Chain A
Amino acid sequence: MPQVMVVARNFMDMVAALPAGKLDMLYDSAFICEAVLRSLPPLAKKYALQMLYVLSPVTAAAMEEWVLDGYAAKHRVAIDKLLQLRVFVEVRDRRKEVSYKMNQKFQGNMQKYLVDGGSLPREPLPSSITGRLPASADLEAYALDQWERFLLQLINSSQVEKGTSFSSSMMKTFQRGLLSSRDGEAPKLTENGFQFLLMEINAQLWYIMREYILSAEERGVDPTELISFLLELSFHKLGAAYSLNTLTDVQRIAIRDLAELGLVKMQQGRKDSWFVPTQLATNLSASLSDSSSSKEGFVVVETNFRMYAYSTSKLHCEILRLFSRVEYQLPNLIVGAITKESIYGAFENGITAEQIISFLKQNAHPRVADKIPTVPENVTDQIRLWETDRNRVEMVPSHLYEDFPSKEWFEQCCDHARDHGYLLWEDTRRMRLIVRGEFHPEMREFLRRQR
């Protein structure tokens, strides 16, 4: 399930791209330190842990000795990550020997955190104010419902009843790539949008969050504040109520947008209003380190290209419809077939074969998930073949030259084009050649000079 990692890392890349000063500011919060630590690759975690109490720099060579031959790349990746996120700081001594030392703020915070656990900037409201809060099952249902509603709206805006339409800031976020936004036209899903739908839920979350922060940045909001708020939010207690009064203005706007996605549930008391984090929010930091969700899958694919999806979700049905022909829909079962037409439809929308296959694998029903392969090989092979089938013909804009007056001239032309790597085809007998379109001006120039 590499997608999550890619996207989540992208989020962390965004964090890493912050200027050093801002990054250090983020590390004021122990929770952000923890979230960052958890996002690291396993080897980097180990390095960070063994440096936790070492104040003086340790040479890079000493660290590398621990790595077995042939795994230097892993070591490299881990160290790069640590440096990018400024968890480690590079130090060079007089002899130009490289040493690493831990970011002091990070180190201090982590040491303290291990002892007394750190505290969130806000405390949950007592139940005397909030009354009965939603049970965790209800909360989960709420979160998933909100999330599905959002995805459904993406798939087809006409299918969702009016009134759930998103706020303009959220809409802007989607229009950063998921939806095309031509004026006067209903927004349509883009290629990225289709690919997004097949992603795993945590990957989707991170994708949206990243887009959200980037679009906020365009509106002039400091991304640091949003990043730290999001990461902190993921350490809030699931199902507890937090007063809105503890939030800054930026955070208050953000929390309303997040509520639309189902990350938090907003509630109104007699005079107070508060938000309740849902699983989606608390899973944010978790999914940074764990690439696989523990959710059970629902799809069984048979060797005869038939697909059984044990799901009641309308969203699932819509997603399956992206690349398969849904044949029957029973109360808890969707029966579909993977056909050439349906797969071609998916390709038209910019979905790749690998995405379809990994979707089927990720969402495999637990009964088949343990089998190897999860999805029958003939099906995966066929999907890949269908994809390569489409790529059989490559379109290259080009120009055809013919009616050369002499053999020499023709050959000179051929050589010229070949030398520049623009020759596509030649027919010596009938003296014709085809050259890439972008080379045409030069070719014309060449011909003119020859004349």
Chain B
Amino acid sequence: MTSAHSKLYSDDVSLVVVLVDTNPIFWATAALPFADFFAHLIHFVNSILLLNHLNRVVIIAAGVSSCAYIFDSSDAGPASGVGVSDTFDKASRKVEEFIAQEARATASNGSVAPANTSSLLSGALSLALCYIQRIFRSGTRHPQPRILCLQGSPDGPEQYVAVMNSIFSAQRSVVPIDSCIVGTQDSAFLQQASYITGGVYLKPQELNGLFQYLAAVFATDLHSRAFLRLPKTLGVDFRASCFCHKKTIDMGYVCSVCLSIFCKNQRKCSTCGSEFSRVMPDLNSMPDQSK
């Protein structure tokens, strides 16, 4: 991985932005209870901070209606030695606040979410990228950033465009997105994200050993990744899914305005609302070879 940034520390100093899925619907039925998951997570964060005093970790929670920063190791001041139990206290307090607030927001909205509600992956990714951009622009030397997504809930097709945009901007600024699936379904979004940005995609078999996966695979700094063989997924599903029926397609129609993909010819783009002229029905939405 060649870096586009010159102001990096020379060695293995990393900034890890961890995106945590706090979707209540998912955690209610998950194989690994949230409390255990959280313990694994904090353990992982502490061990990253342990490896190098310049390492930084940020945790962002992705809920169903909002996202928030849960923890930022750079707030804690000189982290060496004394910060370990702080991490736990601070993060658990913030998570509690965040979930309580989410619960209130959902209750006041009165909307009963469908059973497979997805978390705001796109929002969390954007927050993470914004944070990283701020580090880039701070002008001083900065650690090498990467993003780790701990996702459980299924992909939200309505976020497709936003997620893809985030992925591309991550690739553009050379930020790998690692994905660790703690749910039951593979995530096509994260598969693509990890593939495009050069991160690792992994779906652990033994969720009770989550920390071991995190420590053995996802704690590996970008410097060492250059000479290590990390788990690889067999083939990534590159095919786009159509926006209308979420079917995976080989060939389809692409909106000339927003590049949304449809399996059938449409009168009007359901994403951006552009109307395709009926006089020349084939001219604006023309099939393209999909890749």
Contact between chain A and chain B defined by CB under 8 Å:
yes
**Chain A residues in the interface with B (C-beta under 8 A):** 1, 31, 34, 37-38, 42-43, 45-46, 49-50, 52-53, 65-68, 70-71, 74, 110, 113-118, 120, 234-235, 237-238, 282, 285-286, 289-292, 294, 370
With a cutoff of 8 Å between Cβ atoms, the chain A residues found around residue B6 in the complex are 370
Given contacts A71-B226, A117-B83, 20 further A-B contacts (CB under 8 A): A1-B10, A34-B80, A38-B53, A42-B223, A43-B228, A45-B12, A45-B51, A49-B47, A66-B229, A67-B227, A113-B84, A114-B43, A115-B85, A235-B81, A237-B81, A286-B54, A290-B13, A290-B53, A291-B10, A294-B140
CA distance A110 to B50 in the complex (A): 10
User: Contact: A34 with B219, CB < 8 Å?
Assistant: no
In chain B, what residue has the closest Cβ to A114? B46
User: Contact: B52 with A38, CB < 8 Å?
Assistant: yes
- The segment from B151-159, B184-192, B209-217, B278-286 found at the interface with A is B209-217
**Chain B residues in the interface with A (C-beta under 8 A):** 6-7, 9-13, 43, 46-47, 50-54, 78, 80-86, 140-141, 211-212, 215-216, 219-221, 223-224, 226-230
User: Contact: A52 with B47, CB < 8 Å?
Assistant: yes
User: Contact: B215 with A49, CB < 8 Å?
Assistant: yes
CB distance from A233 to the nearest CB of B (A): 11
**Given contacts A49-B47, A66-B229, A292-B10, are A117 and B52 in contact (CB under 8 A)?**
no
CA distance A31 to B53 in the complex (A): 13
With a cutoff of 8 Å between Cβ atoms, the chain A residues found around residue B216 in the complex are 46, 49-50
CA distance A1 to B81 in the complex (A): 27
With a cutoff of 8 Å between Cβ atoms, the chain B residues found around residue A1 in the complex are 10
CA distance A284 to B17 in the complex (A): 27
User: Contact: A50 with B229, CB < 8 Å?
Assistant: no
User: Contact: B83 with A34, CB < 8 Å?
Assistant: no
CB distance from B218 to the nearest CB of A (A): 10
Partner of A116, one of B84, B219, B224, B226: B84
With a cutoff of 8 Å between Cβ atoms, the chain A residues found around residue B211 in the complex are 53
**Given contacts A52-B215, A237-B78, are A42 and B11 in contact (CB under 8 A)?**
yes
**Given contacts A52-B215, A290-B11, A294-B141, are A120 and B81 in contact (CB under 8 A)?**
yes
CA distance A42 to B220 in the complex (A): 8
**Given contacts A235-B81, A370-B6, are A113 and B227 in contact (CB under 8 A)?**
no
**Residue of B47, B78, B221, B224 contacting most chain A CB atoms (<10 Å):** B224
With a cutoff of 8 Å between Cβ atoms, the chain A residues found around residue B7 in the complex are 370
CA distance A197 to B230 in the complex (A): 43
User: Contact: A286 with B53, CB < 8 Å?
Assistant: yes
CA distance A292 to B11 in the complex (A): 9
With a cutoff of 8 Å between Cβ atoms, the chain A residues found around residue B228 in the complex are 43, 46, 66-68, 71
CB distance from A286 to the nearest CB of B (A): 5
In chain B, what residue has the closest Cβ to A74? B227
**Residue of A38, A42, A52, A235 contacting most chain B CB atoms (<10 Å):** A42
User: Contact: A113 with B50, CB < 8 Å?
Assistant: yes
CA distance A339 to B6 in the complex (A): 31
CB distance from A368 to the nearest CB of B (A): 12
**Given contacts A1-B10, A42-B11, A370-B7, are A289 and B82 in contact (CB under 8 A)?**
no
CA distance A74 to B226 in the complex (A): 11
CB distance from A293 to the nearest CB of B (A): 10
With a cutoff of 8 Å between Cβ atoms, the chain A residues found around residue B83 in the complex are 117
With a cutoff of 8 Å between Cβ atoms, the chain B residues found around residue A71 in the complex are 226-228
With a cutoff of 8 Å between Cβ atoms, the chain A residues found around residue B141 in the complex are 292, 294
Partner of A42, one of B12, B53, B78, B82: B12
**Residue of A67, A74, A114 contacting most chain B CB atoms (<10 Å):** A114
In chain A, what residue has the closest Cβ to B213? A50
A-B contact pairs, 27 of them (CB 8 A): A37-B51, A38-B52, A43-B228, A46-B221, A46-B228, A49-B51, A49-B215, A49-B216, A52-B47, A66-B229, A67-B229, A68-B228, A70-B227, A71-B226, A110-B50, A114-B84, A116-B84, A117-B83, A234-B80, A238-B78, A285-B80, A286-B80, A289-B54, A290-B9, A290-B53, A290-B54, A370-B7
With a cutoff of 8 Å between Cβ atoms, the chain A residues found around residue B13 in the complex are 290
CA distance A282 to B215 in the complex (A): 27
CA distance A70 to B216 in the complex (A): 21
**Given contacts A50-B216, A289-B52, A291-B10, are A42 and B81 in contact (CB under 8 A)?**
no
CB distance from A32 to the nearest CB of B (A): 12
User: Contact: A34 with B9, CB < 8 Å?
Assistant: no
With a cutoff of 8 Å between Cβ atoms, the chain A residues found around residue B43 in the complex are 114-115
